[in-house]
């Protein structure tokens, strides 16, 4: 019975290739990727079949499906998951024309297994009425006793925080990173709970003075059609940290071509499309993420935040040190 099912799946692969399609597994929510995929289909005639889900669930699905997986492209919201997919043998290296001039080497795998599509900055927001704009200038300051019981942040099982800690390991080494995490945990105003928007709401509610968040969540609240979200967001200010040294911590939403891909040329064409000027502009305008490419015009809310210096740490390191980060967070009691 299993052989029959695998034969049917393999037959579907053949039909997909003949039908000029490309199959995408995406950890991005449908609303945050489908409009671009629809534009791609309109311009090229290539049909995009989209399946969305949690990143870890998609990785397990790819692993379970093996060579019979219909997926051609995996899209994730964090480099940690792309690195994990690579380590599991779920991605294959590809080459794209002019990639060296399109994307900084820091934002793509050195062997071509994955690349960034947009930049995501993890930084801080502070209460306007209680915290001066110069009160904190470096990530290292999050462990300072002056912030005792004043910081809100998500749980340790959040991949953004794991990559955040992994960056400290890559920069400072395990021992210094461990001390930093211990200090940060002591400064937490409450046990971690909720998402990044909830951390911002907690600042405004007076539960904490400072929250660690991805900047695009703040942007989404400022640009929300919900008056309550805008009202909350307007009561905090965003700060860029480490601007006098290495720069702000960045991550990526990114993509890789799966090992099982049968529509490789179509997959490459879609990735190239997602790197075009118009697609990069769309990320900024609609999702409040930063273009992965330099030279793309920034407008609206992102422009109001001003320019910032980004850390040029090779993002491969965030995946490489993920297990160490999780261990350090667990030992420090980061729930």
pLDDT digits (tens, 9 = 90+) for 222-255: 999 889 999 999 999 999 999 999 999 999 999 9
Give me the phi and psi of 262, to 5 degrees please. Answer: -105, -20
CATH code for the structural domain at 121-248+315-331: 3.40.190.10
Ranges 37-41, 67-71, 216-220, 225-229: which has the least confidence: 225-229
Indicate the CATH number of 2-119+251-298 among 3.40.190.10, 3.90.79.10, 3.40.50.1100, 3.30.465.10: 3.40.190.10
**What is the pTM for the complete model shown?**
0.90
Confidence of residue 5 (pLDDT cuts 50, 70, 90): very low
Domain with CATH 3.40.190.10 in the chain: 2-119+251-298, 121-248+315-331
**15: enclosing H helix or E strand:** helix 2-18
Beta-carbon contacts of 150 under 8 Å, excluding residues fewer than 6 positions away, are: 187, 189, 208, 209, 210
Give the pLDDT band of residue 19 (cuts 50, 70, 90): low
Whether the pLDDT of residue 167 is over 60: the answer is: yes
Cα distance between residue 292 and residue 286, in whole Å: 15
């Amino acid at each position: 019975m299993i052989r029959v099912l695998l034969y049917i799946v393999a037959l579907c692969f053949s039909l997909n290739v003949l039908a000029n399609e490309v199959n995408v597994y995406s950890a991005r929510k449908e609303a945050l990727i489908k409009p671009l995929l629809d534009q791609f289909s309109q311009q090229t005639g290539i049909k995009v079949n989209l399946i969305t889900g949690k990143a870890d669930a998609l990785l397990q699905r790819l692993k379970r499906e093996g060579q019979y997986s219909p997926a051609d492209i995996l899209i994730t919201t964090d480099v940690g998951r792309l690195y994990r997919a690579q380590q599991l043998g779920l991605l294959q290296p590809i080459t794209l024309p002019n990639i060296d001039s399109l994307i900084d080497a820091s934002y793509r795998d050195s062997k071509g297994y994955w690349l960034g599509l947009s930049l995501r900055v993890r930084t801080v927001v502070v209460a306007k009425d209680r915290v001066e704009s110069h009160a904190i200038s470096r990530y290292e300051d999050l462990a300072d006793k002056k912030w005792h019981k004043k910081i809100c942040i998500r749980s340790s099982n959040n991949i953004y925080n794991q990559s955040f800690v992994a960056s400290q390991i890559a920069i400072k080494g395990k021992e210094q990173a461990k001390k930093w995490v211990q200090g940060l945990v002591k400064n937490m105003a409450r046990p971690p709970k909720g998402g990044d928007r909830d951390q911002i709401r907690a600042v405004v509610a007076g539960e904490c003075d400072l929250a660690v968040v991805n900047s695009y969540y703040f942007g989404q609240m400022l640009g929300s059609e919900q008056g309550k979200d805008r009202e909350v967001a307007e009561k905090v200010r965003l700060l860029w940290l480490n601007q006098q040294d290495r720069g702000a911590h960045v991550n990526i939403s990114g993509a890789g071509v799966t090992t099982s891909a049968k529509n490789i040329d179509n997959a490459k064409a879609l990735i190239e499309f997602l790197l075009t000027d118009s697609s990069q502009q769309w990320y900024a305008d609609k999702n409040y993420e930063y273009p992965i490419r330099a030279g793309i015009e920034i407008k609206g809310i992102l422009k109001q935040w001003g320019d910032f210096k980004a850390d040029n740490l090779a993002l491969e390191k965030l995946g490489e040190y993920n297990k160490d980060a999780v261990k350090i967070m667990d030992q420090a009691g980061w729930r």
